[in-house]
Amino acid sequence: MTVTVESILRDKIMKNSKLKAGEGGLQKQVTWIHIGEIVDMGKWLDGGEFLLTCIHGPGDDKEKQLEFLRGIAKAGGSAVGIEAGYYFDTMPDYLIKEANKVNLPLIEIPPGRPFVEITQALLPKITEALEKRSQQSWDEEITSLKETIETGLYHKLINQKFDDALEIIDDICFYLSDMRQNSRGIRFYLLQTLQTIFSASLELKADIIRVYRNYLVLYNNLKLISSPQKYLDFAAIALKDMISLVRLSTEGEYNTHIYQAFKYIFENYRDQNLKISQVASEIGVSSPHLNYLFRTEVKMPPKQVLTNIRIEAAKHFLYHTNMALNRVAARTGFSDASYFSRVFKKEVGLPPSEYRKLME
């Protein structure tokens, strides 16, 4: 909910206050309450303020009073509340006329109403409304960011519009720069971006061995940097390098079955019953031949590739969620938590519970 001049006038703290001019500006948003008396008060405003004053600065000088009012309007002030009783008992016609001219709500505050009571009553409501509005705006930006990563970046890469993809990386890092205090959030979206690039490289039949090795190196390095700003600086370069590698190695020299196997494993690693024989059958080769291809070109057996992908996915859940180990195991293709823990410790060097504590 936005706090407007109209909603302020309806507040009980403004009882007996009267709108004297500027009715057309009642829907202006109020972002702060300020108290000021100097003639050139407008120079001290950012816009959106409800200014409370006794006009001691202008005093009883008509021209200075008008200058005071015009300065506030020019600065984008939302409304002016003047306490009567000092220089006039009721609002002068010339101020009413000027306020209407510049569409500035002019409110007459009854004598004796302490300004501190008004600010104490209204400021919490204004700041709460601004925080909710800011959160809503941020949620909308994050939704847009997710779509940019999952759809925009992926399609640019698939269509080999690599220059556009590089620009999207800049956009992603720009969005994430507003999350500098949320290192977990930054890591989450950057790793998601990295996975999107890897998925696109599978579709493009890039030099999958080099891309995969870079993927693992970058994935692990991105998690080791503690400073959010250094993280963003590193990611901007690393992700662009990854795209450049995909660009240069598209339609690489490696066997088509390698790409097909990687793609099938990447898409089905969550299946606890996934076997390498199933992968081989799906792409139309024998299990021994698939093992030979991987050992020759990837320098590791396909079963190890499957394990690596599952472990990296598990690291993601351990780092970004409080999910129980049995659920992490189920989500990443392991039959149970005990087996998951044994494999994780063998591959990473420590149990998943200790890894989670280390990453906190």
Checking if the pLDDT of 356 tops 60, the result is yes
pLDDT, residue 357, reads 81
Position 70: which residue type?
R
DSSP 294: I
Cα–Cα distances (Å) from 339 to 275, 317, 330, in that order, read 16, 17, 11
| Proportion of the chain above pLDDT 90, given as a percent | 39
Which residue did the predictor score with more confidence, 216 or 66?
66
User: How confident is the model over 141-151, as pLDDT tens digits?
Assistant: 667 777 778 78
Q: Residue 109: which of 152, 51, 150 has the closest Cα?
A: 51
Q: Where are the CATH 3.40.1390.20 domain residues in the chain?
A: 5-113
Is the confidence at residue 160, as pLDDT, over 90? no
pLDDT tens digits, one per residue of 258-272 = 878 888 888 899 999
Nearest to 146 by CA among 180, 118, 171: 171
Range with the lowest mean pLDDT among 66-70, 139-143, 211-215, 347-351?
139-143
Assess whether pLDDT exceeds 80 at residue 136: no
CATH 1.10.10.60 positions along the chain are 141-359
**How big is the chain, counted in residues?**
360
| pLDDT of amino acid 180 | 60
pTM of the model: 0.45
For the chain, what is the mean pLDDT?
A: 84
Q: Are 126 and 31 in contact (CB under 8 A)?
A: yes
CATH for the 141-359 domain, from 3.40.50.970, 3.40.50.880, 2.60.40.1080, 1.10.10.60: 1.10.10.60
Instruction: Decide if pLDDT at 3 tops 80.
Output: yes
The DSSP string of 87-98 is: S-SS--HHHHHH
* Strands, E assignment, 106-223: 106-109
Query: How far is 295 from 302, CA to CA, in rounded Å?
Result: 8
Count of C-beta atoms within a 10 Å radius of residue 17:
19
N- to C-terminal Cα separation, the chain: 36
What phi and psi, each to the nearest 5 degrees, are found at residue 66?
-65, -40
Which pLDDT band holds residue 211 (cuts at 50, 70, 90)? confident
pLDDT of 26 higher than 70: yes
What's the rounded mean pLDDT across residues 212-232? 66
The CA distance from 156 to 280, in Å, is 30
For tokens 């303020």, name the residue: 49
Q: What does the alpha-carbon distance between residue 5 and residue 79 come to, in Å, rounded to a whole number?
A: 7
| CA dihedral of residues 291, 292, 294, 298 (deg, nearest 10) | 150
Amino acid at site 319: Y
Question: 246 exposed, middle or buried (CB, 10 Å; 0-12, 13-18, 19+)?
Answer: buried
| Region 65-71 average pLDDT | 94
Residue 81: pLDDT above 80?
yes
Residue 62 has pLDDT above 80, yes or no: yes
Among 53-57, 174-178, 288-292, 344-348, the range scoring the smallest mean pLDDT is 174-178
- Cβ atoms of 314 and 308 within 8 Å: the answer is no
Q: Reply yes or no on whether the pLDDT at 192 is more than 80.
A: no
∠ CA 232-238-242, rounded to 5°: 140
Residue type, 278: Q
Q: Quick one: average pLDDT of 124-151?
A: 72
What would the mean pLDDT of 197-225 be, rounded to a whole number? 69
Pairing assessment for the beta strands 32-35 and 18-21 based on DSSP bridges: unpaired
pLDDT in the model for residue 243: 83
CA-based max dimension of the chain? 98
Asked: is 5-113 a CATH 3.40.1390.20 domain? The reply is yes
